[in-house]
């Protein structure tokens, strides 16, 4: 029986670190295990210029414990006013790795996102030219579309037309939650990738809604039916280079989650690797874990895989905190509803 597992150091290709007190509390949780992460730009106000991305990067580095080697890979928040020249300069200067498209109104702090996709066409064309990837929150916001259908409809109405119009654009479908997302990513070739979160491998929509409402399982895109969770498990554990880990670890204080209109987001940074090892072991795919956490992402982004490694060891159930403290109040750690036996030992 395998009881240790050594992997190239993992990267997180979709992470929310926030700012201020929250940043200081959550950045060490990711930096403990991950070498690099794509940092989401949905701050208030959002990160829209290269200078803002550079300043945010400095704040992240300052929030890490001394001696931590963690590389934040910065993104810009795409708006209808994004200037293609500014974006190209930030990319050429190495200040940003990618650009994030939020449909306006789709999720936390997305009000400055894109409502009219035609307006960003020149920016997308420029990004295709310079090889800057577009990370896409793939949900329509039309009130006549059921929230559980928003991803599948986005693929047909928005994503596929964009990719046909701009075939050289490199696109990451962020946090896919449906079989349709899995299938579309599989057919997209080398210019299309998809991140999958830890929590969407574990929960389906029953976990949010059956037997009482569970705000800590509410995130966007919202978890779907069991058949979709199973499709995500199959994709993540397949080794297929189209799929890589983007935890979408999205901390909110409990005070902001446990409200009549609570925030969307699951905080998984603390126990992500233990959960993933458990999931991959359940699916007899521990040999594919490294591809998902450490190889497929860098390959898509054209970066070398990390050369250092981490080791996970199997043993008694792992103890991790139910909550982490911030000076703004506690943040609940995602509960995978199962004992976790794999702990990161080095």
Residues 39-78 that bind ligand NCD (CB under 6 A): 42
Active site residue 149: no
Rounded Cα gap, residues 72 and 69, in angstroms: 10
Q: Single out the residue of 135, 113, 65 nearest to residue 301, CA to CA.
A: 135
Helix (H) or strand (E) holding 297: helix 296-301
The catalytic position among 11, 12, 240, 248 is 248
Quote the least distance from Cβ 110 to ligand NCD, whole Å: 7
One-character DSSP codes across 144-205: TS-GGGHHHHHIIIIIHHHHHH-TT--EEETT--SHHHHHHHHTSGGGEEEEE-SGGGT--H
Choice from 24, 57, 137, 288 touching ligand NCD (CB under 6 A): 137
Which residue carries 């929509």 as its tokens?
Answer: 205
Residues 204-223 that bind ligand NCD (CB under 6 A): 219-220
* Alpha carbon distances (Å) from 129 to 60, 93, 98, 188, 287: 30, 16, 13, 19, 37
The answer to the question of residue 12 lying near Zn ion (CB under 5 A) is no
Residue count, binding to Zn ion (CB under 5 A): 1
Residue count, binding to ligand NCD (CB under 6 A): 11
Choice from 248, 278, 290, 335 touching Zn ion (CB under 5 A): 248
Residue 265 binds which entry of Zn ion, ligand NCD, none, with Cβ cut-offs from 5 to 8 Å by kind?
ligand NCD
Binding map of ligand NCD across residues 265-284, x = CB under 6 A, - = no contact: x-------------------
Q: Single out the residue of 92, 242, 265 nearest to residue 181, CA to CA.
A: 242
The answer to the question of residue 250 lying near ligand NCD (CB under 6 A) is yes
The answer to the question of residue 16 lying near ligand NCD (CB under 6 A) is yes
> Is 265:271 a contact under the CB 8 Å cutoff?
no
Quote the least distance from Cβ 145 to Zn ion, whole Å: 20
Q: Single out the residue of 29, 37, 85 nearest to residue 57, CA to CA.
A: 37
The answer to the question of residue 107 lying near ligand NCD (CB under 6 A) is yes
Quote the least distance from Cβ 288 to Zn ion, whole Å: 24
Catalytic residues: 248
Q: Which residues bind Zn ion (CB under 5 A)?
A: 248
């Amino acid at each position: 029986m395998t009881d240790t597992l050594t992997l190239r150091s993992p990267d997180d290709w979709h992470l929310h670190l926030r700012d201020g007190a929250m940043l200081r509390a959550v950045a060490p949780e990711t930096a403990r295990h991950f070498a690099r992460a794509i940092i989401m730009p949905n701050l208030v106000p959002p990160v829209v210029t290269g200078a803002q991305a550079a300043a945010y990067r400095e704040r992240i580095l300052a929030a890490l414990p001394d001696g931590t080697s963690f590389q934040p890979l910065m993104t810009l928040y795409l708006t209808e006013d994004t200037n293609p020249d500014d974006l190209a300069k930030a990319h050429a200067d190495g200040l940003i790795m990618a650009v994030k498209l939020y449909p306006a109104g789709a999720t936390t702090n997305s009000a400055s996102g894109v409502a009219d996709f035609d307006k960003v066409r020149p920016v997308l064309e420029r990004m295709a030219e310079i090889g800057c990837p577009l990370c896409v929150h793939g949900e329509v916001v039309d009130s006549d579309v059921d929230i559980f259908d928003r991803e599948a409809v986005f693929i047909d109405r928005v994503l596929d037309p964009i990719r046909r119009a701009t075939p050289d654009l490199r696109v990451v479908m962020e946090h896919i939650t449906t079989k349709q997302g899995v299938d579309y990513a599989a057919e997209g070739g080398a210019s299309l990738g998809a991140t999958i979160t830890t929590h969407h491998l574990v929960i389906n929509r029953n976990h949010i809604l059956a037997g009482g409402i569970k705000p800590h399982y509410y995130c966007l895109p919202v978890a779907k039916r069991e058949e979709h969770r199973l499709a995500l498990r199959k994709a993540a554990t397949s080794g297929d280079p189209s799929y890589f880990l983007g935890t979408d670890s999205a901390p909110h204080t409990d005070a902001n989650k446990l409200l009549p209109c609570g925030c969307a987001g699951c905080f998984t940074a603390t126990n992500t690797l233990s959960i993933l090892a458990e999931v991959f072991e359940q699916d007899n795919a521990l040999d594919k874990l490294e591809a998902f956490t450490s190889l497929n992402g860098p390959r898509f982004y054209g970066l070398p895989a990390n050369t250092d490694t981490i080791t996970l060891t199997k043993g008694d159930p792992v103890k991790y905190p139910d909550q982490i403290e911030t000076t703004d109040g506690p943040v609940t750690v995602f509960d995978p509803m199962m004992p976790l036996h794999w702990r990161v030992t080095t």
